[in-house]
Amino acid sequence: MTKITAIIPTLNEEERIKNSLKSAEFADEIIVIDSYSTDRTVEIVKQSNARLLQRKFDDFSSQKNYAIEQASNDWIVWIDADEVLTKELQDEMKTAASNAGDLVGFYVYRVFFFKGKKMRYTGTQNDKLIRVFNRKHCKYEGKVHEKIKPEGKLGTLQHKILHYSYISFDRYIVKLNQHSALKAEELYEKGLVITPFHIIVKPVARFVKHYFIKLGILDGFYGFIISFALSYGVLVRYIKLWNLKQKHKRNDKFDK
């Protein structure tokens, strides 16, 4: 069988890291890339057979690519700390890596749980990511909502990742704020000009997309909460971008 390295990123994940570590035990090597957690995450990782790396977080792609470079094996399985791999998926991942042929990676669908409830709609029904890949032909790109850029063909696995993203509403909003801040930096570098369209129309459009078009209404109250939170994330993104522009204007004026 082809040897596999499982990689798990962490930042204050003491509530969830044990389950993620346990579901990674099928791999030949486990690496945890930690962004200097201040809770018991590091202590828990040190009690496992995982190799701990720590690096100051700058953006998602840089963090991931750094960890991938430290792996002993070319085939990588990426697992977020809020995810769990079933035994069936573990076996399928091992088989896929060993019999990849000319494929350089594999998509894996995720099942999203919100406060323990399985979400069937709200945009989660088509959630798939490249989570098994050969690092020789795949690299992460993008500061936020980072994606793998594959150099070759991809397959899709049958079994799904169990995604337990929600711990509390406060943590959920913190995560959205982090993503919004990184996205704002990315848009600033691209020179995006903010208009009322970005502040008013785009947040509303995001809510409509997830609650109505993606059928979040069928997920009940939780579908509404997720749709609202995603809409809020879009609004915050452009507010943070506006703040960045104002900050740089003040700095430029001061420098002159």
Last residue of a domain, one of 164, 198, 220: 164
Does 155 share its domain with 222? no
Does 112 share its domain with 136? yes
Average pLDDT rounded to a whole number, residues 240-244: 95
pLDDT of residue 40: 98
Does 177 share its domain with 160? no
Does 118 share its domain with 182? no
Does 204 share its domain with 111? no
What pLDDT digit, counting tens, does each position of 127-180 carry?
999 999 999 999 999 877 789 999 999 999 999 999 998 777 787 788 888 889
Place of tokens 């943070």: 240
Euclidean distance between CA atoms 146 and 59, whole angstroms: 9
Last residue of a domain, one of 125, 146, 164: 164
Euclidean distance between CA atoms 83 and 250, whole angstroms: 42
Average pLDDT rounded to a whole number, residues 50-71: 96
Euclidean distance between CA atoms 70 and 174, whole angstroms: 29
Asked if pLDDT for residue 255 goes beyond 80, the answer is: no
User: What stretches of the chain show up as alpha helix (H) in DSSP?
Assistant: 17-23, 41-46, 60-69, 87-98, 169-190, 196, 202-208, 220-255
**Count of domains observed in the chain:** 2
Bridge partner residues of 154 (DSSP)? 105
Domain that holds residue 106: 4-164
178 vs 54, which has greater pLDDT? 54
Cα–Cα distances in angstroms (integers) from residue 83 to residues 131, 133, 136, 160, 240, in the given order? 12, 17, 25, 10, 29
Asked if pLDDT for residue 111 goes beyond 80, the answer is: yes
Answer for the pair 28, 3: CB distance below 8 angstroms, yes or no: yes
Average pLDDT rounded to a whole number, residues 45-60: 96
Last residue of a domain, one of 164, 181, 200: 164
Does 18 share its domain with 69? yes
- pTM score, two decimals? 0.91
Mean pLDDT rounded to a whole number for the chain: 94
Euclidean distance between CA atoms 242 and 248, whole angstroms: 10
Answer for the pair 244, 182: CB distance below 8 angstroms, yes or no: no
Does 177 share its domain with 58? no
pLDDT of residue 2: 98
Q: How far apart are the first and last CA of the chain?
A: 63
Does 114 share its domain with 142? yes
Give the residue from 73, 68, 34, 37 showing the smallest Cα distance to 54: 34
Candidate from 5-9, 59-63, 90-94, 250-254 with smallest mean pLDDT:
250-254
pLDDT of residue 73: 98
What pLDDT digit, counting tens, does each position of 85-109 carry?
999 999 999 999 999 999 999 999 9
* CA 221, chain centre distance (Å): 24
Does 148 share its domain with 193? no
Does 185 share its domain with 140? no
Does 63 share its domain with 147? yes
Euclidean distance between CA atoms 63 and 58, whole angstroms: 7
pLDDT of residue 248: 83
Report the amino acid identity of residue 54.
Q
pLDDT of residue 256: 58
Q: Supply the CATH number for residue 73's domain.
A: 3.90.550.10
Do the bridges between strand 103-114 and strand 153-156 make them parallel or antiparallel, or are there none, so unpaired?
parallel
Does 185 share its domain with 125? no
